[in-house]
Amino acid sequence: MNERNWPPEVRDLGDRIAGLSLARAAELHRYLERVHGVRVSASVVEERTRIVTPDLVLPPPPTEFRLVLEGFEPARKINVIKVVRELTGLGLKEAKDLVEKAPCVVRDGLPADQAALLKRQLDAAGARTTIVGVSA
């Protein structure tokens, strides 16, 4: 810190001023100016009250989407397997294994409209699905 020895009254007063909230500091500034005629340079006040906000950089919107099978209605399992076979081109055993290991990715790298269409087909068959955006 600073090696200088400050008098106790200066140190106490400085610590109290430094501990003021922004509203109380502004009130003190007005009091000193009006009652005692003490003027503080505007640049000093602006420097103290300036709040720096970083530029908000949003990630680019996803361009590809992933269709995820979260689960299915047990009574409609066969319908879900049939639709998964149609959508993926998998054989019966592979489609059954895929459905049974839910949650899992059914299709990846889809455009938004195609992902929505496939989601509607699986949901109609009794599946619970979600679409997850993936940045390309």
Which CATH fold would you assign to the domain 64-134?
Answer: Ribosomal Protein L30; Chain: A, (3.30.1390)
What contacts 121, CB < 8 A, 6 or more positions away?
83, 86, 87
Where are the domains positioned within the chain? Answer: 8-49, 64-134
Span 4-42, pLDDT tens digits? 888 888 888 888 888 888 888 888 878 888 887 877 665
With beta carbons less than 8 A apart as the criterion, state whether 111 and 66 touch. no
Each residue of 113-128: pLDDT tens digit? 999 999 999 999 999 9
Neighbouring C-beta atoms of residue 66, cutoff 10 Å: 17
Q: Residue 95 in contact with residue 81, Cβ under 8 Å?
A: yes
